[in-house]
Amino acid sequence: MDSWKRAIEQDPAHSGAWVNILVRLDETGQCERAIEIAGNLPNPAHSAIHFQLGTCYGQLNRFEEGEYHLRKAIQIDPHNRIYHSNLQVLYERRRLFSAENSSQLNTPRSNTHLQRLGTNITGRL
């Protein structure tokens, strides 16, 4: 993390370093922090930044925001199969989440099946 922070100090628009920081935050369960940081980026129009935001929003069950960012990533880089794959995973998570909430309104719920589904070819979401 320190090397990426140093890269950003030298070049605040270094999108690669920002992406690496967001990925690391995601991997350590800090998606809310990643989203907060991404909101203040000087150039958030990088496909990998939108992809990472979409992934984090999906993990937080904020599906509309996740879909928006995954679609932006696809718009910028339409041939990236991982982006398309994660969008499909997001749709499936949303469907399962909606079905689970409608059938278990007054019972405690388990996210186990959502967590298993969320592990895709990138190991995230």
User: For position 45, what pLDDT does the model report?
Assistant: 84
- CA triplet 115, 48, 65: central angle to 5 degrees? 55
Residue 104 located in a structural domain:
yes
| 23 Cβ contact list (under 8 Å, min separation 6) | 52
Residue 20 located in a structural domain:
yes
- CATH code for position 104: 1.25.40.10
**Distance between CA atoms of residues 30 and 60, nearest Å:** 10
Per the structure, the complete domain to which residue 88 belongs is given by 2-118
Residue 125 located in a structural domain:
no
Instruction: Please give the tally of structural domains in the chain.
Output: 1
Q: Which of 42-51, 70-79, 101-110 has the highest mean pLDDT?
A: 70-79
Residue 123 located in a structural domain:
no
User: For position 120, what pLDDT does the model report?
Assistant: 46
